[in-house]
């Protein structure tokens, strides 16, 4: 009999706050975490807005001597993992340590450290490069730090699949538990790419919103006024646990991870495949793995980046999977309208929002949706949170290179 996997701990660091309570209360109230960039002088940049984690104070969480060993993305990941782990309330022993592991990834990783140390090299020479430079920017070192901190000797791995990273990490980690290679996994994604190089690069690719005069309305999925995504930073990490074990110890269970799908577009390095064909195959694979029929889906936390092509493609994909009539009955929203696009951390954060939606019977809104694109004609839960109890939800993430990931989460009874 296949082992079942549940979520028993949540860790969030987002533009709406540190911890689940502050972020989720912001989501429920339709609050935007987007503002002008303060992490560097963005005056000369085409896009000057971002979702910064302004409430995050590293000194509150990480000792000073450890801070220099971690790029900002790593700090976010370590803190989110701590929040999730402490909430789950697990104890590590000599007997169970090898059955507990970590899988936290990032789409871009330590780009700030790379940028800054490249400047040191150019201006001061190779002898001034920090001895902590390499370990501070390696993506798998989030998993390394977390495993060391808690003594977790099971699978230690990392995922790098652009904006699908967090979703892939949770899906892959859940598969390890289902396949009896682990009993507990800490999984998710972290990102901190609000720096000169990343913002300049994404802006050069015409990917970012330039609604600089009104940051809080810049992320507007499915709205005719959308003009690109808003870059954001943070982390979303969950504790996954074998269900029977979680029930035995009386753990709080947020949702069951019942299905997971992946696909590749094999089409273009940045654009989605026509009609959302790759995304549709991904959702079908996830539903099949869960043994769920399309008409059982009640909510989709969309990838919903606020890009002209992406929003249409995902809408078309949902219609292809669910059928036109069923697609118009379900609720679909983009929490990126409030927190921006956390790139490799997006899937982790959005899986948590999806789990909370199932547990609390509250569907997050898509804010800034005032003039809906005629080609995007589904129920996007515009502007206001909605009370609705659903049993099955999908969480979608699609990345550059045509990499797609979908989680199927079920309400835990």
The CA distances from residue 383 to 31, 73, 226, 273, 380, in Å, are: 10, 30, 15, 29, 9
Q: Is 250 helix (H, G, I), strand (E, B) or coil?
A: coil
- Packing angle, helices 277-290 and 308-322, rounded to 10: 40
The number of residues making up the chain comes to 413
Of the residues 145, 157, 168, 303, which is catalytic?
Answer: 303
Beta strands 49-50; 234-242: pairing state? unpaired
Q: How far apart are the two ends of the chain, measured CA to CA in Å?
A: 20
Are residues 40 and 31 in contact, defined by beta-carbon separation less than 8 angstroms? Answer: no
Residue 341 is among the residues annotated as catalytic for this protein = yes
Of the residues 145, 168, 341, 376, which is catalytic?
Answer: 341
The CA distances from residue 243 to 16, 135, 250, 350, in Å, are: 31, 35, 11, 21
Residue 168 is among the residues annotated as catalytic for this protein = no
Query: Distance between CA atoms of 346 and 162, rounded to whole angstroms?
Result: 10
Burial letters 155-170, b for 16+ CB under 10 A, else e:
bbbbbbbbbbbbbbbb
Distance of CA 50 to the CA centre of its chain: 16
How buried is residue 143: exposed, middle or buried, by Cβ count under 10 Å (0-12/13-18/19+)? buried
Residue 303 is among the residues annotated as catalytic for this protein = yes
Are residues 175 and 260 in contact, defined by beta-carbon separation less than 8 angstroms? Answer: yes
Q: Where are the alpha helices (DSSP H) in 179-274?
A: 196-204, 243-248
Of the residues 163, 168, 282, 376, which is catalytic?
Answer: 163
Question: What residues are annotated to the active site?
Answer: 163, 303, 341
């Amino acid at each position: 009999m296949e082992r079942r996997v549940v979520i028993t701990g949540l860790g969030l660091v987002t533009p709406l706050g540190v911890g689940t309570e502050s972020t989720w209360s912001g989501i429920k109230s339709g609050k935007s975490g987007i503002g002008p960039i303060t992490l560097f002088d963005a005056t000369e940049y085409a896009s000057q807005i971002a979702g910064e984690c302004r409430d995050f104070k590293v000194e509150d969480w990480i000792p000073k001597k450890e801070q220099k060993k971690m790029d900002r993305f790593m700090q976010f990941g370590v803190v989110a993992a701590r929040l999730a782990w402490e909430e789950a309330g697990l104890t590590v022993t000599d007997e169970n340590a090898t059955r507990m592991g970590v899988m936290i990834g990032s789409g871009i990783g330590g780009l700030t450290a790379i940028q800054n140390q490249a400047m040191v090299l150019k201006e001061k020479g190779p002898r001034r490069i920090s001895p902590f430079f390499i370990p501070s920017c390696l993506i798998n070192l989030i998993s390394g730090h977390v495993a060391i901190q808690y003594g977790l000797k099971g699978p230690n791995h990392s995922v790098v699949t652009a904006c699908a990273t967090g979703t892939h990490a949770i899906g892959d980690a859940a598969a390890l538990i289902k396949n009896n290679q682990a009993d507990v996994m800490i999984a998710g994604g972290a990102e901190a790419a609000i720096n000169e190089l990343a913002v300049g690069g994404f802006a050069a690719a015409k990917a970012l919103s330039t609604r600089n005069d009104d940051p809080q309305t810049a992320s507007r999925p499915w709205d005719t006024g959308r003009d690109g995504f808003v870059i954001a930073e943070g982390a979303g990490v969950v504790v996954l646990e074998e269900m029977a074990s979680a029930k035995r110890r009386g753990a709080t269970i947020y949702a069951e991870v019942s299905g997971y799908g992946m696909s590749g577009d094999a089409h273009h390095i940045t654009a989605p495949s026509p009609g959302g064909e790759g995304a549709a195959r991904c959702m079908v694979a996830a539903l099949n793995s869960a043994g769920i029929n399309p008409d059982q889906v009640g909510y989709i936390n969309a990838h919903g980046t606020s890009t002209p092509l992406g929003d249409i493609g995902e809408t078309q994909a949902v219609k292809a999977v669910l059928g036109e009539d069923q697609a118009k009955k379900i609720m679909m929203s983009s929490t990126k309208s409030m927190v921006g696009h956390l790139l490799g951390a997006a899937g982790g954060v959005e899986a948590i929002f999806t789990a909370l939606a199932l547990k609390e019977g509250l569907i997050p809104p898509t804010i800034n949706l005032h003039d809906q694109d005629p080609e995007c004609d589904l129920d996007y839960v515009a502007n206001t949170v909605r009370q609705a109890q659903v049993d099955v939800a999908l969480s979608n993430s699609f990345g550059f290179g045509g990499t797609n990931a979908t989680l199927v989460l079920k309400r835990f009874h």
